[in-house]
Chains A and B, each alone.
Chain A
Amino acid sequence: EAQVTQNPRYLITVTGKKLTVTCSQNMNHEYMSWYRQDPGLGLRQIYYSMNVEVTDKGDVPEGYKVSRKEKRNFPLILESPSPNQTSLYFCASSHILAGPYEQYFGPGTRLTVT
């Protein structure tokens, strides 16, 4: 089954404790992206990647890092999480020919930073 998977689905952590949210897709997509979703603010892009070893900042990259060492994986790293990073996070992927338009989204990761 074609899908984007994220782990963990739920995470509660404390300020300053480094964490990684994994994202993996099995569709051989070149384009991958991370979004955060907050009430009243909609979906905002954090980082995206057009292919292996190519990453770019989105609209809200501060406090986040990403890497793209393999085509299928695109982990999101929070080196020192803060309470304002409490949010619902989505990973997405798409074929390069579809651009960022027809993205497949993962199920989301609910992160709470206390």
Chain B
Amino acid sequence: GENVGLHLPTLSVQEGDNSIINCAYSNSASDYFIWYKQESGKGPQFIIDIRSNMDKRQGQRVTVLLNKTVKHLSLQIAATQPGDSAVYFCAENPPKIDDKIIFGKGTRLHILP
């Protein structure tokens, strides 16, 4: 799609399987983490967020896991569907900066029929 990087990491998953998208964040003092989904030709869309005082949060068919020890964030999508095909961005809220978030480079999720 026109809105993705040329060398984005790509994850290919069979339809119906679970997807796990990983993200390494940069600042151990970041307080808030967010996942966004960007479908081809569209703007990013908020999926789910998690505060640093939590290690897991569940939404509808999605779960976000936070491992602060290794500065790792993951997004799990249950029973992946064709509509889940998109680029997924993690974002973090840097410490002492309440009014902005920093986006990661993104991962493309490709659904195999």
Contact = CB atoms under 8 A, between A and B. Distances in A.
A93 to B, nearest CB: 11
Interface of B: 2-7, 32, 34, 41-46, 49, 89, 93, 98-106
Contacts of A104: 46
B18 to A, nearest CB: 25
A90 B44 contact: yes
Contacts, number: 70
Interface stretch (A13-21, A34-42, A65-73, A77-85): A34-42
Contact of B45 (A35, A101, A105): A105
A113 interface: no
Interface string A56-78: 10110000000000000000000
Given A40-B5, A101-B49, A56 B43 contact: no
Given A102-B49, A103-B46, A106-B43, A39 B99 contact: no
Given A56-B99, A99-B32, A101-B93, 9 more contacts: A40-B5, A43-B89, A100-B100, A101-B32, A101-B49, A101-B101, A102-B46, A107-B43, A110-B2
Interface of A: 4, 31, 33, 35, 37, 39-45, 48, 50, 56, 58-59, 88, 90, 92, 99-108, 110
Select the residue from B5, B43, B44, B106 with max chain A CB neighbours within 10 A. B43
A39 B49 contact: no
B28 to A, nearest CB: 19
Nearest to A90: B43
Select the residue from B93, B100, B102, B105 with max chain A CB neighbours within 10 A. B100
B36 to A, nearest CB: 8
